[in-house]
């Protein structure tokens, strides 16, 4: 008898997954009201921004993929805000920064959540912004029950929220105390901020639904809310990890002039399935590069989580992520050679680098005459110092570093999916704007994001900091079509590990025939061989982190092949979730138990 931690949730009309069961309910409410999957995803996202403040927020970002049944087409939504006009490499040189900090106001980009969903709902949704925001306003005003994970984060950050971020403590530490599990968590400023959007929409109701949604969006980016963001961050400098205090660099023009865009996604076909990712302003194409490499192997014959399988998976990940470092960036600024990176010919060439032992090198591919030298280093700060013309020789050798037990930002971020009876399908990965790295803006109830830490400061390379540029984010939802019809939507939190854990989940289904929940439950590994996207941008050559449910004999076999394996908790890796439409047209949904409170629901 097959055991899974939860049943596969099945339905015929619609399904929603999210990182918190109340956000899933918010999405279901939209579908019951006559909304579609786009409305449901938007409602779930706004709710999860409130419900998981330790993982994401409305001040962050939400890269999104949508399949629109009426058009039979997949679109990518640019759910990533741009950097301030004032934040430049020259500014960093003048202020002696060789790494953009991971906290405070310097790495703040324009909040993208309201912008993204305003675009999506106006173009494809059916409901008003007031209807979509109603569940979140209700939860913010009346309170939602404090849960274990949120309380643990409060305990861990209580000193910070008292001493460094008192505006956060004012919201989440009522009367200076840490509330108990089950006590209501209220955020009236957040509710009032959302009500401003609803009021702006109502004032424009005579001009139609779309005009009302645009008015709600403008209330956030062009009205009092934007003014409040700029005034607060400029008046209240915040110290970063180095101890240096900086005021915000975002201006009202930075907020007013940004608009989310609808883009063509990136796609390849794998074993008859069309797999879609957002563009190279995310790390999403590394998922596709890994598939291109792996399609040259008989993975099923190797056996699930066997030494051969995991070694091959890890070595292919190293090659794909080396190319991420070498070539990915905002394609509006950087010339990213995706056609070559995703070609079968390039993958065949790269596949020859997968040997019997773990590689200790960074090995980006050569596209053109010379491989990019900056992508052979494990030391981001040294690369930045070279770009800043600071005297510090770049060490190309990449010496091994101590094994770490836990990679940073594996828990931050969340995810959600939605499908409706018409076949519209959404996968979205909300992140940023979490409470641990930036203070709550008093009067608005939310912090800003810190995604700008992912920029490089070497102007000669892709993903270098520039005004009004998107940082290359780790956020990476996935959609899959089969025979031209919607088939899968999935994603996970987990920083750089996202496109490793979701890849294993996908292969569990496609290569090893697991059912939907069994594939979510299965233990995973991930490589930390390449530079982290997060401050302080560390890299750990040859290090592999494995859940303890990976068989001990497999771990030892990987070590004999030269991998430095760190064994962690049994259920430590992410919170993968997703929806599948099977051959009978039945919806199958599930959420990994790793995140404690994420749930799927269907009807």
HEC per residue, 337-406: CHHHHCCHHHHHHHHCCCCCCCCCCCCCCCCCCCCCHHHHCCCHHHHHHHHCCCCCCCCCCCCCCCCCCC
**Dihedral over alpha carbons 377, 315, 552, 571 (to 10 degrees):** 80
Question: DSSP assignment of 209-247, as one string?
Answer: HHHHHHHHHHHHHTSHHHHHHHHHHHHS-EE-TTS-EE-
Structure token pair of residue 547: 């859940």
Domain assignment present for 567: yes
Domain assignment present for 406: yes
Calculate mean pLDDT across residues 208-232.
97
Q: Report pLDDT for 411.
A: 58
Domain assignment present for 69: no
Instruction: Could you list the beta-strand ranges (E) of 146-286.
Output: 184-185, 238-239, 245-246, 262-263, 266-270, 273-277
570-587 pLDDT, tens digit each? 999 999 999 999 999 999
Q: What is the CATH number of the domain that holds 398?
A: 1.10.246.130
Contact between 88 and 452 under an 8 Å Cβ cutoff? The reply is no
Peptide bond into 394 cis (omega under 30): no
DSSP state at residue 473: B
Calculate mean pLDDT across residues 513-525.
98
Calculate mean pLDDT across residues 293-299.
98
Contact between 547 and 36 under an 8 Å Cβ cutoff? The reply is no
Q: What's the domain range around 557? A: 266-410+482-578+583-592
DSSP state at residue 456: B
Domain assignment present for 312: yes
423-476 pLDDT, tens digit each? 999 999 999 999 999 999 999 999 999 999 999 999 999 999 999 999 999 999
Domain assignment present for 441: no
Q: How many separate domains does the chain show? A: 1
380-392 pLDDT, tens digit each? 999 999 889 876 5
pLDDT at 132 over 60: yes
d(CA 428, CA 478): 8
Provide the 3-class DSSP secondary structure of residue 146: coil
Domain assignment present for 402: yes
Domain assignment present for 238: no
Per-residue pLDDT band for 361 (boundaries 50, 70, 90) equals very high
Domain assignment present for 461: no
Q: What is the mean pLDDT of the chain?
A: 95
């Amino acid at each position: 008898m097959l055991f899974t931690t939860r049943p596969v949730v099945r339905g015929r009309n619609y399904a929603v997954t999210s990182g918190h069961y109340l956000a899933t309910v918010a999405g279901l409410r939209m579908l019951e009201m006559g909304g579609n999957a786009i409305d449901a995803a938007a409602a779930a996202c706004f709710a999860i921004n409130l419900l998981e403040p330790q993982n994401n927020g409305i001040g962050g970002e939400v890269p999104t993929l949508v399949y629109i049944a009426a058009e039979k087409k997949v679109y990518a939504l640019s759910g990533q805000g741009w950097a301030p006009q004032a934040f430049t490499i020259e500014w960093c040189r003048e202020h002696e920064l060789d790494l953009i900090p991971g906290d405070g106001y310097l790495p703040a980009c324009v909040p993208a959540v309201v912008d993204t969903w305003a675009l999506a709902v106006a173009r494809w949704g059916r409901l008003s912004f007031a209807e979509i925001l109603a569940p979140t306003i209700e939860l913010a005003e009346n309170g939602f029950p404090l849960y274990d994970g949120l309380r643990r984060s409060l305990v861990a950050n209580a000193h910070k929220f008292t001493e460094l971020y008192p505006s956060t403590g004012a919201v989440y530490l009522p009367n200076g105390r840490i509330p108990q599990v089950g006590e209501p968590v209220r955020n009236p400023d957040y509710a009032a901020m959302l009500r401003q959007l609803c009021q702006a929409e109502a004032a424009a109701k005579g001009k139609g639904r779309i005009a009302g949604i645009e008015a709600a969006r403008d209330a956030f980016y062009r009205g009092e809310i934007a003014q409040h963001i700029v005034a607060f961050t400029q008046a209240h400098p915040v110290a970063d990890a180095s101890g240096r205090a900086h005021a915000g660099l975002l201006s009202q023009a930075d907020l007013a002039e940004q608009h989310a865009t609808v883009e063509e996604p990136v796609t390849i076909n794998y074993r008859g399935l069309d797999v879609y990712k957002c563009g190279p302003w995310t790390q999403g194409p590394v998922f596709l590069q890994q598939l291109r490499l792996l399609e040259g192997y008989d993975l099923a014959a190797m056996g699930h989580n066997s030494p051969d399988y995991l070694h091959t998976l890890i070595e292919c990940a190293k090659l794909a992520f080396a190319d991420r470092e070498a070539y990915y960036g905002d394609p509006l600024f950087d010339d990213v050679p995706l056609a070559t990176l995703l070609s079968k010919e390039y993958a065949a060439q790269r596949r020859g680098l997968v040997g019997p032992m773990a590689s200790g090198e960074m090995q980006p591919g050569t596209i053109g005459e010379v491989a990019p030298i900056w992508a052979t280093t494990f030391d981001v700060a040294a690369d930045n110092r070279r770009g800043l013309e600071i005297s510090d020789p770049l060490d190309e050798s990449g010496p091994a570093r101590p094994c770490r037990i836990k990679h940073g930002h594996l828990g931050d971020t969340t995810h959600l999916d939605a499908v409706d009876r018409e076949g519209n399908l959404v996968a979205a990965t909300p992140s940023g704007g979490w409470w641990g790295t930036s203070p709550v803006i008093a009067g608005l109830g939310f912090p800003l994001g810190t995604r700008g830490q992912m920029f490089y400061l070497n102007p000669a390379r892709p993903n270098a900091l520039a005004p009004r540029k998107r940082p290359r984010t780790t956020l990476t939802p996935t959609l899959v079509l089969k025979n031209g019809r919607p088939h899968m939507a999935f994603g996970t939190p987990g920083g750089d590990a996202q496109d490793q854990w979701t890849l294993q989940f996908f292969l569990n289904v496609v290569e090893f025939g697991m059912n939907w929940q069994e594939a979510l439950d299965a233990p995973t590994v991930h490589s930390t061989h390449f530079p982290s996207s997060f401050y302080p941008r560390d890299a750990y050559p040859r290090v592999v982190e494995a859940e303890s449910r990976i068989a001990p004999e497999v771990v030892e076999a990987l070590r004999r092949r030269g991998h430095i394996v760190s064994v962690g908790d049994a259920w430590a890796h992410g919170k993968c979730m997703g929806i599948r439409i099977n051959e009978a047209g039945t919806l199958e949904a599930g959420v990994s138990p790793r995140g404690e409170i994420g749930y799927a629901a269907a009807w």
